Amino acid sequence: MAEATQETVHETHEGGCLCGAVRYRVSGIPVSANACFCTMCRRQTGSALPAFATWNRAQFVLLAGEPAAYAASPKAERQFCPRCGSALFWIKNGGEEVDVFLGSLDAPERIRPPDYAIWTRHRLPWVPPLGGPEFTQSRG
């Protein structure tokens, strides 16, 4: 995990959907960043390389709109814009963290590269390894 400095502890990141109806803010440094190659994340995002940053839910604030939710499994709800369909975040049922899709951030380049990759058994053969630890299934 990245070393916390006074500057990074107080940094904020904003993001939202394609149409602008749903906006959010997260503050502080993420708990982790990862890439997920599971088929559900790929289908939700339409991306061969879905990536997330994870924050504690207390660091997350919804600024505008109300996301829709879809429970693709009994484990979690996937949040998205009900108007344009943009994938936004993922919240484990009863969990204390929110996994924000990096592509929904206004400045995703400010987030560190993924710390690890999960569900790599579903990685498309033309997507290279990312250089960190890899897990064929879920990490935990």
Give 79-126 pLDDT, tens digit per residue.
Answer: 999 999 999 999 989 889 999 999 999 999 999 999 999 999 999 999
Going along the chain, which residue ranges are E strands? 12-16, 23-27, 32-36, 51-56, 60-64, 68-73, 76-80, 87-92, 97-101, 116-118
Within-domain flag for 135: no
Domain that holds residue 73: 9-122
137 within domain boundaries:
no
Tally of structural domains, the chain? 1
Give the Cα-Cα-Cα angle 120, 122, 126 (nearest 5 degrees). Answer: 85
Q: Is the pTM of this model over 0.75?
A: yes
In a domain, residue 132? The reply is no
- The CATH number that applies at residue 67 is 2.170.150.70
| Burial class of residue 104, CB neighbours in 10 A (0-12, 13-18, 19+) | buried
Q: Is residue 140 part of a domain?
A: no
Of the candidate ranges 6-20, 31-45, 122-136, the one whose mean pLDDT is the lowest: 6-20
Note the pLDDT of residue 61.
97
